[in-house]
Structure 1
Amino acid sequence: MKTDANVVHLNKVAAEQSPTSPVGRLPVALIHLRDKAAQRLKQSLQILFDNADDTLFEMADRATSNAEQNAFFEAMRDLRLKRKNIERAFLQAVFEPFATLNQYEIGKPSLDALSFDSLALVQHDELEESVALDAMVAKVMSRDSMGVGHLTTRLNAMISKKLDDKTNPLGPTALCEAFLEACSSLGVEIKVKLIILKLFEKYVLADLDQLYAEANQLLVAAGVLPELKSAPARRNPERPGTAARTATEQAGGSAGEHADDGVQEVFVALQELLAQVRGSAMPRREMPDDALPITSRDLLRLLSHMQQHAPAQASDDFDLREQLEQLLSRASARSGKARVVGEVDEDVINLVSMLFEFILDDRTLPDSLKALIARLQIPMLKVAVLDKTFFSRGSHPARRLLNEIASAALGWGEQDDTQRDSLYQKIEQVVQRLLNDFVDDPLIFSELLADFLAFTGNERRRSELLEQRTRDAEEGSARAELARRQVELALNERLLGKRLPEVVVRLLQEAWSKVLMLTCLKHGVDSPEWQSAVATMDDLVWSAQAHEDPEARLRLLELVPGLLKALREGMASAAFDPFSTGEFFSQLEALHVQAFQRFKRAMPAAEKARPEEPAGLGLEIDAEARAALAEAGAEPLRQELPPAAELDGSAMIEVVEEIVLLAPGQTSASEPEICLADDDEALLQVANLRVGSWVEFQEDEEHKLRCKLAAVIKPTGKYIFVNRTGMKVLEKTRTGLAVEFRRKAIRLLDDALLFDRALESVIGNLRRLKGA
Structure 2
Amino acid sequence: MIAEDPLRYPTRLSRHDAMRDPVRVFDALRRESVTALGGVLSGFWGTIEEQVRLEALAGHDYSGAQDDRMAVMALGHRALELATRYRESLEREFDAWRRPAVEQDADTSLSLMSEGELEIHLAGQHITELLDHQFLHPLEQLGERLEALAEALGVEGKRANPVRPVATVAAFIGLFGTEDLTRGLRPLVFNQFDKRLPEVLGELYEKLNALLEEAGFGSGSDSPDRVVRRPAPAPGPGAGDGRAYAGDQAGDAGGVWVPDGGTVEYSVRGQAGGDGDSAGGAPAGGGPGGLVQAAAHAAAAEGRPLRYRDVVREHLADWRAAGLTAGEGPSTVPPGAQVLRTEDLLNVAQILQGDDAAPYTRALAVSDARELGRVIREAIRGGLRQLGLDADAAHFSVDEEDAIDLVGMLFSSINGANDLEGRARDFFGRLIVPYLKVALTDDSMFNRRSHPARRLLDVLTEACDGNAGETPQDRETLDRAERAVDRVVEEYDEDQAIFELAASELRDQLEQQRRRTELAEKRAGEAIHGRERLQQARTHAADLVASRLSGRMLTASVARFLDHDWRHHLTQAWLRDGPGSPRHRQAIALGDAMVQVDADAAQARGRVVAEQLLALQVPLGECYSSCGMDAAAARDAMARIISDLGLPDAARRVHHPEGGVDDVEPAVDESPLAGLRLAGGTDTFDFDPEVAARMRRLRVGQGLRLVEDGQESAARIAWISPLTGRFLVVNRRGMRKMVVSPEELSVLVAAGRVVVRSTDAPFDEAMRQVWKHLGSMRDPERAANG
TM-score normalised by length of structure 1: 0.55
**Aligned counterpart for 2:437 among listed residues 361, 372, 382:** 382
Contact 1:695-1:708 within 8 A present in 2 as well: no
State the AA in 1 paired with 2:384: L
Matched, 1:592 2:600: no
From the superposition, tell whether residues 489 and 266 of structure 1 become closer, same or farther in structure 2 (CA, over 3 Å): same
Following the alignment from structure 1 to structure 2, what is the Cα–Cα distance between the partners of residues 290 and 667? 66
Following the alignment from structure 2 to structure 1, what is the Cα–Cα distance between the partners of residues 607 and 31? 95
Following the alignment from structure 1 to structure 2, what is the Cα–Cα distance between the partners of residues 543 and 398? 80
1:760 matched to which residue of 2?
771
From the superposition, tell whether residues 366 and 485 of structure 1 become closer, same or farther in structure 2 (CA, over 3 Å): same
Displacement of 1:299:
3.1
Following the alignment from structure 1 to structure 2, what is the Cα–Cα distance between the partners of residues 122 and 525? 43
The one-character-per-residue Cα deviations of 1:632-689 (angstroms, maximum 9, x if unpaired) are: xxxxxxxxxxxxxxxx9xx998974423156698999999988656379xx99x9999
Query: SS at 2:774's partner residue?
Result: helix
State the AA in 2 paired with 1:328: L
Contact 2:308-2:447 within 8 A present in 1 as well: yes
Following the alignment from structure 1 to structure 2, what is the Cα–Cα distance between the partners of residues 39 and 462? 42
Displacement of 1:466:
3.0
Matches within 5 A, 1:270-281: 270=315, 273=318
Contact 2:357-2:426 within 8 A present in 1 as well: no
Matches within 5 A, 1:356-371: 356-360=411-415, 365-366=420-421, 369-371=424-426
Task: Give structure 1 stretches of 5+ with no counterpart.
Answer: 4-25, 54-75, 96-109, 150-164, 166-171, 214-230, 242-254, 600-647, 699-703
Following the alignment from structure 1 to structure 2, what is the Cα–Cα distance between the partners of residues 112 and 41? 10
**Aligned counterpart for 2:530 among listed residues 473, 476, 494:** 476
Query: SS at 1:375's partner residue?
Result: helix
Alignment coverage as a number of residue pairs:
584
Following the alignment from structure 1 to structure 2, what is the Cα–Cα distance between the partners of residues 299 and 547? 100
Matches within 5 A, 1:46-85: none
1:391 matched to which residue of 2?
446
Matched, 1:303 2:289: no
Matches within 5 A, 1:386-465: 386-393=441-448, 396-403=451-458, 405-406=460-461, 409-410=464-465, 412=466, 416=470, 420-450=474-504, 452=506, 455-456=509-510, 458-465=512-519
Displacement of 1:436:
1.9
Contact 1:662-1:668 within 8 A present in 2 as well: no
1:57 matched to which residue of 2?
none
**Aligned counterpart for 2:205 among listed residues 202, 207, 210:** 202
From the superposition, tell whether residues 420 and 474 of structure 1 become closer, same or farther in structure 2 (CA, over 3 Å): closer
From the superposition, tell whether residues 238 and 90 of structure 1 become closer, same or farther in structure 2 (CA, over 3 Å): farther
Following the alignment from structure 1 to structure 2, what is the Cα–Cα distance between the partners of residues 733 and 337? 60
Displacement of 1:763:
1.4
State the AA in 2 paired with 1:470: A
Following the alignment from structure 2 to structure 1, what is the Cα–Cα distance between the partners of residues 103 and 562? 77
The one-character-per-residue Cα deviations of 1:465-492 (angstroms, maximum 9, x if unpaired) are: 4324423432332232222122222223
Following the alignment from structure 1 to structure 2, what is the Cα–Cα distance between the partners of residues 669 and 198? 45
Worse-matched range after superposition: 425-434 or 37-46: 37-46
Displacement of 1:307:
0.9
Matches within 5 A, 1:653-732: 656-660=655-659, 678=686, 693=704, 695=706, 722=730, 726=734, 728=736
**Aligned counterpart for 2:628 among listed residues 558, 566, 577:** 577
From the superposition, tell whether residues 549 and 343 of structure 1 become closer, same or farther in structure 2 (CA, over 3 Å): closer
Matches within 5 A, 1:208-607: 260-261=305-306, 263=308, 265-270=310-315, 273=318, 282-286=329-333, 289=336, 291=338, 293-294=340-341, 296-311=342-357, 314-316=360-362, 319-331=375-387, 333=389, 341-360=396-415, 365-366=420-421, 369-393=424-448, 396-403=451-458, 405-406=460-461, 409-410=464-465, 412=466, 416=470, 420-450=474-504, 452=506, 455-456=509-510, 458-495=512-549, 503-521=557-575, 530-544=584-598, 547=601, 549=603, 552-571=605-624, 574=626, 576-577=627-628, 579=630, 581-589=631-639, 592=642
Following the alignment from structure 1 to structure 2, what is the Cα–Cα distance between the partners of residues 509 and 696? 45
Following the alignment from structure 1 to structure 2, what is the Cα–Cα distance between the partners of residues 592 and 586? 10
Query: SS at 1:539's partner residue?
Result: helix
Following the alignment from structure 2 to structure 1, what is the Cα–Cα distance between the partners of residues 600 and 83? 89
From the superposition, tell whether residues 667 and 695 of structure 1 become closer, same or farther in structure 2 (CA, over 3 Å): closer
Displacement of 1:431:
2.2
The one-character-per-residue Cα deviations of 1:268-305 (angstroms, maximum 9, x if unpaired) are: 545664787797665444468473643x3443333222
Displacement of 1:306:
1.2
From the superposition, tell whether residues 444 and 666 of structure 1 become closer, same or farther in structure 2 (CA, over 3 Å): closer
Structure (1 or 2) with the larger CA radius of gyration: 1
Matches within 5 A, 1:19-168: 115-116=101-102, 142-143=148-149
Following the alignment from structure 1 to structure 2, what is the Cα–Cα distance between the partners of residues 91 and 491? 67
State the AA in 1 paired with 2:440: V
From the superposition, tell whether residues 374 and 766 of structure 1 become closer, same or farther in structure 2 (CA, over 3 Å): farther
Following the alignment from structure 2 to structure 1, what is the Cα–Cα distance between the partners of residues 227 and 78? 33
Contact 2:463-2:510 within 8 A present in 1 as well: yes
Displacement of 1:198:
6.1
Following the alignment from structure 2 to structure 1, what is the Cα–Cα distance between the partners of residues 437 and 732? 32
State the AA in 2 paired with 1:327: G
Following the alignment from structure 1 to structure 2, what is the Cα–Cα distance between the partners of residues 122 and 738? 46
Displacement of 1:505:
4.4
The one-character-per-residue Cα deviations of 1:337-366 (angstroms, maximum 9, x if unpaired) are: 987654423332233234444555668555
Task: Give structure 2 stretches of 5+ with no counterpart.
Answer: 2-8, 19-25, 43-71, 111-120, 133-138, 156-160, 177-188, 217-223, 230-273, 279-298, 364-371, 670-676
The one-character-per-residue Cα deviations of 1:692-738 (angstroms, maximum 9, x if unpaired) are: 5454779xxxxx99987766769779775556554557667999999
Following the alignment from structure 2 to structure 1, what is the Cα–Cα distance between the partners of residues 716 and 168? 43
The one of the two structures with greater contact order (alpha-carbon pairs below 8 A, sep at least 6) is 2
Following the alignment from structure 2 to structure 1, what is the Cα–Cα distance between the partners of residues 105 and 600? 87
TM-score normalised by length of structure 2: 0.54
Contact 1:718-1:733 within 8 A present in 2 as well: yes
The one-character-per-residue Cα deviations of 1:427-451 (angstroms, maximum 9, x if unpaired) are: 3333222212222122333444455
Following the alignment from structure 1 to structure 2, what is the Cα–Cα distance between the partners of residues 493 and 329? 87
State the AA in 2 paired with 1:379: P
Contact 1:717-1:733 within 8 A present in 2 as well: yes
State the AA in 1 paired with 2:433: I
Contact 2:718-2:729 within 8 A present in 1 as well: yes
Query: SS at 2:493's partner residue?
Result: coil
Contact 1:696-1:705 within 8 A present in 2 as well: yes
Following the alignment from structure 1 to structure 2, what is the Cα–Cα distance between the partners of residues 274 and 505? 76
Following the alignment from structure 2 to structure 1, what is the Cα–Cα distance between the partners of residues 681 and 705? 25
User: Alignment identity in percent?
Assistant: 20
Displacement of 1:403:
4.6
From the superposition, tell whether residues 548 and 301 of structure 1 become closer, same or farther in structure 2 (CA, over 3 Å): closer
From the superposition, tell whether residues 84 and 487 of structure 1 become closer, same or farther in structure 2 (CA, over 3 Å): same
Following the alignment from structure 2 to structure 1, what is the Cα–Cα distance between the partners of residues 559 and 417? 61
Displacement of 1:373:
1.7
The one-character-per-residue Cα deviations of 1:538-583 (angstroms, maximum 9, x if unpaired) are: 3334435684756x123124323211133234555x4x4361x443
The one-character-per-residue Cα deviations of 1:213-235 (angstroms, maximum 9, x if unpaired) are: 9xxxxxxxxxxxxxxxxx99999
Following the alignment from structure 1 to structure 2, what is the Cα–Cα distance between the partners of residues 459 and 402? 18
Contact 1:79-1:186 within 8 A present in 2 as well: no
